[in-house]
Structure 1
């Protein structure tokens, strides 16, 4: 790319807030200096945890079982990592499982469970170590994680009895009695990560045995850090891939990216042997946490902030403006300082660039000395226009508090003071974070939300540092015009994958959307003319009041040039609605009908097939051609033509089938599954959409059941290191001696419907299952009239997947299996 063209691209990205990300990384990552066993086999980067400190990220991973020490890497962009050596070398760190590091008040505390045998706490004055052992064995289950709440209270999360257990902490070394948080995976549960967002406590956690291909991640949230974490069954698992080269996804961490707003989930996958590091973007829709993954193709590098400074130079330079004097300088090309004390003058260094009206900013600082005035203070300046219009958030050592003050048109709005935790050491590094949405400011200190100030009539402005009668050092500073998850409006959503309707591109009328009203009728989420409301049924924000001729544009990152199907989530009580999807000037779908769903909260899935998409970053436009319907989102699938399959097993084998658990044999031209166990076997392509599946089925025993699997995704062996019959996603149409049944697997089991019918043992029954969109018809005996006619109106219907056979504690024979397009 020429320098002139690069300048044009950068100017466009800065103008419209896209950042300068390019397709730059893909999962899994490769690291230098990975852990290896003594025999040379790869061990890799299992159980990854990332700490952000003073603008730099530090990665810690589990230690190989036959060595001691904890390795650490550092990065400023989450993509390019530099190995920094062993940060701990004590013999106790042999096989240090899941080391996690917390910064607090000048010290870095490491929690790890060597070989899974209890926990130890180590401490250092640097994220690079050396960490030294501070405690004996504290016991407690593996995979310890520390969360510090807004009030400064500490909590330790770890494995319990098939759940995540929490222990309140009175200090970094002392653990109270444990209690069940409510988070579990219906079996072994580990690897918790907890964070707080908009007043809710979120927990991600991993289930299953680490070496089962279906190792996976769920999430839950609640209103307490200790109890009542509600599993989000409609969305879980949020990370799973049981087949292919990048399977066994689990033990994650969550970190905020360089743009100060985007959450990323980091996790490991199987490397056969060993484990590798992976990372995917998280976006938000109301309370819903949505992972844009798992991905294995090129993804945009994490966005950088609009402005940042690490002071890696010898002078302050032209990017800053001094206000009111003071003595400012640069130390060791790593921080800025101001050392004039002895009076109450507010000295400031202000950036030359400015934020937008809503933004996030981060500041890092520590005090070296202070004067004898009533209130020596130091901290952050933001929304700065001039000395008559600005806000500041400063630390006051004398009162152990955070103080904020806003001046609007020369009028001070009043100082608000918030007490900080006892024992705060102001000579150590602390972080102030500002989140501004319209006229509301949230102010955080060291990750703790300390103040929310509303109705402050300041817009965007410059940021900077300030002191009053204090000598202070100032570290990494950055701002971004993204806040409270607005990164989703800029992101290129991976395809295949899910796109939320409210995550249309940022931009103006006619560029990112067309809406016939001048305001957001629903008044929710975004300040554009697009009409957004909250849906009780979908439990998130949706785009409503869509009228003829309106459209929304979405940035997507298409994995490969191929044919795709897309599932639209729609609701309407009107007839005649139509939709069309464009890629630029290319009509991808033609005009398609949207059915009357019977109400604005009666959501249904409509599948549009055969979209020819080109690889790379694209801008797709969803057009409301005629009529009116509400729009919740869309899910893209790679599509493949359904093949004709017939197997009468007369060749004496079941070649082409993949057996999982169970005892399967081919005998006398029939496929047999022995009784006393559950088992499944699959065939076909997970990209298949609509098809008919038929089979003859004979129950040999009167207990249990057997039948046909459709729309199968992520099957795994539920007997490999575990004992669980629910290891798949898809639908199961089956027979018992008293009827025909339909249920849904999503690494758990949900009964959907049934129809009474006498089905004697040792009698052949012919079953046919027809799947079309979200509709499933099940025929037994009578091939003209279905015994079951069911449409999955849930928010997560399975519309693509393989086929298979299953038996559940019944000796069953199968024959004449057939799949038709």
Structure 2
């Protein structure tokens, strides 16, 4: 056993923490006050500025003006009125706002007829038009890179297009980014940068379609080379249920400074004029290495976004007892909205320090502007962090004199030396700017206006934060810190159930509280800095490894409703007799679960346990490794549903419980007919069915196409409506026959052929077909019901474990009879 070769097993006993209650919660879809009547709120975009959020949405086509709302927490929104009223804003699509150097720039495409740029000195306007029509399609999005270079992204048929910008109003030549949804119309881009990589989320097909959906792609270049994340896409999709037609998202950092939230809209129907009615939704985004995962889409109560561990908006008349002064200066509060220091003429570092202190790892955010500077050699102003005393602290300061960011650390009274980073030409120090500090271990990452400028190491722990000036009169606004960094918010986020939980997202709290691990250190040395052993997963991201008998991990989940669920564990092991178990407190949910020998530590298998009882609300589930050793990647929860014995001989004149998604279907002569000429599918049953058998008699009435059975089908939609012409609008498996053989493939809004065998099958003749799905195994029978023609195991991480049954044809007139589903 791998760990036993390295360490001596030490057994420790974990204690239980009772789950919290769901006291503050939001629920999708959400309704805003003063929404456009009979139109709702579509294409949401969120701007964060000085600790507050501003939401902008598309304008109803018959109306003029752009509406906005503000919020301190992403949940409670206050209507801010019409922030733009120029006649050009009639039917303004997808307005997005970016702050730069004292101005707010808005990009919108009224009526979809080209873009205009508007500008304001406030996020709530008034925005005034600055440019003529710039053209460039719809859904403009602006991203500013670490070097201050601007990029503009827009919709196009085939893939998103990116334009470098020379200023806020001037767009260079377009570049094909590679980010595409099925080669069709692609829109609604949002770009963020993380660990040196560019992540683009975007939306595809038609805004009126229930299959409107969100994908993402990754590149090392902001203009080109975006590779769709095929193993995660679509990241947001729902074609049936309380929310459908999900798309056009924006991404914004949460109030805790570390979490990331995705805002998107759902489709509710049409206005009398034929335009979509929409509502906004939000769900948390979490990371596992380079993998971006959306904890959703949700339509049940979810915990409100976390607030920072400390924040101050200075909404009072005096500085107050939560701060203390170091080295003097003349400090005060202005208009209950900011703190100022106006003493000049001295090079002393005048400081205001919070009494509140961070943990060892944290994220901090500061906002400031210069009112005046002195004549000394180094007038500057900025933030201090990891402050313990005058012998141990860090500072990040803005210098107009040298047009740069200046960073220094003092450790045990010794300066570690100033480090400098140039700021963009024209940087206006009299306007509001932000400094962000991310501390992880001994590494400090310093951002100015979201641009990463300096990465530096220093032997400092956590500490207090504050503001300081040297020979400068400066104003200081919203300040906050959170004891989270690098996406560690995911560890204590309550993951929605149904949903997927990454193994590395066990809760925080340490040995005996969040986990029991028999080694003092992380043997894999990856991802997290506690004793749990984590390694790189060849399927992407990281997994927990070297799990031994008696060890356990605890996870926070938010169970949608009390009832029975199926849970699928993603595991790898080279050992026989491995056993695990899932607990909720002292309740054994699963009993002993046998984990098969998968044949290799990188050979992953999905093991489903059906019908476990879960209780609604916030829970802490514990995965126990009872016997043996296994690596653990994830667990995914689905509602449990028993499979009935269902038979349809089509003896009536109607299709009964069948739902037809496209094509021409009819019932006559005791048969179910698909007319052919295009692709067609019909489904029946429950999204939560897991293991079952489907039988049907098939008669191919013509050659050249194919006909067969759908199993484990979810999120079906009409691939012909609205000019889409996509045969693969579904997630699930399709087993089918042609005149030359039997085949199996997988649909995930694209097509992946899996396997097939040659077999001569005639038209005009009845062929009995059976498909059996059990676990990850799929057997396909044709003619001989005892020996399968196909026996296939889908061991991939994209295997489908649950879904409806159905029938499908492609360019073939087909008749079906004697359809049966049974467990």
Q: TM-score range by the shorter chain?
A: over 0.9
* CA-CA distance at 1:654 after TM superposition: 1.0
1:643 equivalent in alignment to 2:633: no
Corresponding residue for residue 370 of structure 1: 373
Partner of 1:702: 703
Residue 109, structure 1, aligned to residue 105, structure 2 = yes
- The separation in 1 between residues aligned to 2:613 and 2:34, in whole angstroms, is 42
Show the 5 A alignment for 1:779-818: 779-818=781-820
- How big is the alpha-carbon RMSD for the aligned residues of Structure 1 and Structure 2? 1.0
> What are the residue-to-residue correspondences of 1:556-595 with 2, within 5 Å?
556-595=557-596
Correspondences of 1:216-231 after superposition (within 5 Å)? 216-231=213-228
Task: Please name the residue that 1:283 is paired with.
Answer: 286
Report the Cα distance in structure 1 between the residues aligned to 2:53 and 2:104, rounded to whole angstroms: 14
Gaps of 5+ in 2: 1-16, 271-276
Match of 1:475 among 470, 474, 477: 477
Q: State the match for 2:332 in structure 1.
A: 329
* Residue equivalent to 2:200: 203
Describe how 1:735-774 pairs up with structure 2 within 5 A: 735-774=737-776
Contact 2:583 2:622 in 1 (8 A): yes
**Structure 1 CA distance, aligned partners of 2:566 and 2:754?**
25
Match of 2:693 in 1: 692
* 1:573-613 C-alpha deviation (Å, 9 max, x unpaired): 11110111000000000001000011000011010111100
Cα–Cα, structure 1 residues 64 and 19, in superposed 2: closer, same or farther, change >3 Å? Answer: farther
Whether the aligned pair in 2 keeps the contact of 1:743 and 1:749 (CA below 8 Å) is yes
Q: Kindly provide the CA deviation profile for residues 9-57 of structure 1, in whole angstroms up to 9, marking residues without a partner as x.
A: xxxxxxx9x9998441000111100002xxxxx1011000000001100
8 Å contact 1:495–1:556 — kept in the other structure?
A: yes
Identify the residue that residue 312 of structure 1 maps to in structure 2. Answer: 315
Greater CA deviation, 789-798 or 402-411? 789-798
Alignment check: 8 A CA contact 1:19 1:305 kept: no
Structure-1-length-normalised TM-score: 0.97
1:215 to 207, 212, 216: 212
Match status 1:249 vs 2:246: yes
* Equivalent residue, structure 1, for 2:486: 484
Report whether the alignment pairs 1:733 with 2:735. Answer: yes
- Secondary structure of 1:600's counterpart equals coil
Say yes or no: does 1:443 pair with 2:437.
no
Residues 242 and 299, structure 2, Cα contact 8 Å, conserved in 1: no
- In 1, the alpha carbon distance for the partners of 2:77 and 2:476 equals 25
Cα shift at 1:203: 0.3
Whole-angstrom distance in 1 between the partners of 2:660 and 2:346? 79
CA distance in 2, matches of 1:182, 1:590: 47
In the alignment, is the contact (CA less than 8 A) between 2:22 and 2:617 conserved in 1? Answer: no
**Aligned to 2:88, what secondary structure does the other structure show?**
helix
Q: 2:635 and 2:306 mapped to 1: Cα distance?
A: 24
Matched with 1:664 is 665
1:161, distance to aligned residue in structure 2 (A): 2.9
Q: Distance in 1 between matches of 2:224 and 2:574?
A: 40
Q: Which whole-Å deviations, capped at 9, do the CAs of 1:417-475 have from their partners, x for residues lacking one?
A: 10000000000000000000000000000000001002x10000000000000000000
1:91-106 aligned within 5 A:
91-106=87-102
For residue 489 of structure 1, give the secondary structure of its aligned residue in structure 2. Answer: helix
Contact 2:500 2:636 in 1 (8 A): yes
2:274: which partner in 1? none
Measured after TM superposition, the shift of residue 60 of structure 1 is 0.2
Q: CA–CA distance in 1 between the matches of 2:510 and 2:548?
A: 18
Matched with 1:141 is 137
Structure 2 equivalent of residue 624 of structure 1: 625
CA deviation vs aligned residue, 1:528-561 (integer Å, no higher than 9, x gap): 111000012x111000000011110000000000
**Deviation per residue, 1:595-642 (Å, 9 max, x gap):** 001100001101011110000000100011101110000110001111
Confirm or deny: 8 A CA contact 2:362 2:483 kept in the other structure.
yes
**Structure 2 residue 98 is the aligned partner of structure 1 residue 121:** no
Kept in 1: contact 2:21–2:618 (CA 8 A): no
Question: Is the counterpart of residue 48 in structure 1 residue 44 in structure 2?
Answer: yes
1:679 counterpart residue number: 680
Superposed displacement of residue 160, structure 1: 2.1
CA offsets, 1:371-410, max 9 Å, x none? 1001110000000000110000000001100000000000
8 Å CA contact 2:22–2:618 kept in 1: the answer is: no
Which residue pairs with 1:532 in the alignment? 534
SS in 1 for 2:364: strand
- Following superposition, the deviation at residue 188 of structure 1 comes to 0.8
TM-score after normalising by structure 2? 0.96
> What are the equivalent positions in structure 2 for 1:267-306 lying under 5 Å apart?
267-273=264-270, 274-306=277-309
Q: Which residue number in structure 1 is paired with residue 416 of structure 2?
A: 413
Answer with 332-341 or 639-648: which moved more. 639-648
Q: Is the 8 A contact 1:369 1:472 kept in 2?
A: yes
Whole-angstrom CA distance in 2 between matches of 1:711 and 1:590 = 26
How much has 1:272 moved relative to structure 2? 2.1
SS of the equivalent of 2:604 reads: strand
Tell me the CA shift for residue 653 of structure 1: 1.7
Matched, 1:351 2:358: no
Deviations 1:489-543 (A, max 9, x none): 110100000000000010121111011111110011111111000012x111000
Separation of aligned partners in 2, 1:196 and 1:22? 34
Residue 644 of structure 1 and its aligned partner are, at CA, apart by 1.2
Distance change in 2, residues 1:391/1:20 (3 Å): farther
CA distance in 2, matches of 1:811, 1:19: 57
Corresponding pairs, count: 798
Question: Is the CA contact (8 Å cut-off) linking 1:665 and 1:671 kept in structure 2?
Answer: yes
The question of whether the paired residues in 2 share the 8 Å contact of 1:113 and 1:119 is answered with yes
Tell me the distance in 2 between the aligned counterparts of 1:30 and 1:179: 37
| Higher mean C-alpha displacement, 648-657 vs 139-148 | 648-657
Which position in structure 2 is the counterpart of 1:235? 232
Gaps of at least 5 residues in structure 1 are 1-15, 37-41
1:175 maps to which of 171, 177, 194: 171
1:193 aligns with 2:194: no
Q: Distance in 2 between matches of 1:795 and 1:651?
A: 42
Give the equivalent residue in structure 1 for 2:12. none
1:6 aligned residue: none
